[in-house]
Amino acid sequence: MKRLIKDRASDLKVLITSATLDGLKVSKFFSGCPVLNIPGTLFPVEKFYSTDRPTNYIESSLRTAIDIHAKEPPGDVLIFMTGKIAAG
């Protein structure tokens, strides 16, 4: 990405966001680019892990979300999905 940014027009802007990224390391990597720190509120998180490897990630995620909704106290559900399906 660093090479791509240098090869592109000088008006190219790249925005990288993350709640866990080390902004100073990224800034150093990109030749001292500016870092914006926007504070947020941390909320307690309870993690649930599946013990089975699903054959259909979307269906399994929906079932899990519905199960959490039905059995747990009110709250939000955030599901992280895999970007690739691993070869079996």
Q: Which H/E stretch holds residue 60? A: helix 57-71
30 with 59, same domain: the answer is no
Q: With contact defined as beta carbons under 8 Å apart, do 55 and 61 qualify?
A: no
60 with 82, same domain: the answer is yes
Q: With contact defined as beta carbons under 8 Å apart, do 1 and 14 qualify?
A: yes
The one-digit pLDDT tens for each residue of the chain (88 residues) are 666 666 665 666 777 877 778 889 988 988 888 898 888 887 888 887 778 888 888 888 888 889 988 998 888 888 877 666 555 4
60 with 81, same domain: the answer is yes
Q: Which H/E stretch holds residue 24? A: helix 23-29
Q: With contact defined as beta carbons under 8 Å apart, do 77 and 65 qualify?
A: yes
What is the per-residue burial (b if ≥16 Cβ within 10 Å, else e) of 39-51? eeeeeeeeeeeee
Give the model's pLDDT for residue 4.
63
Q: How many domains does the chain have?
A: 2
Give the model's pLDDT for residue 51.
82
Give the model's pLDDT for residue 83.
67
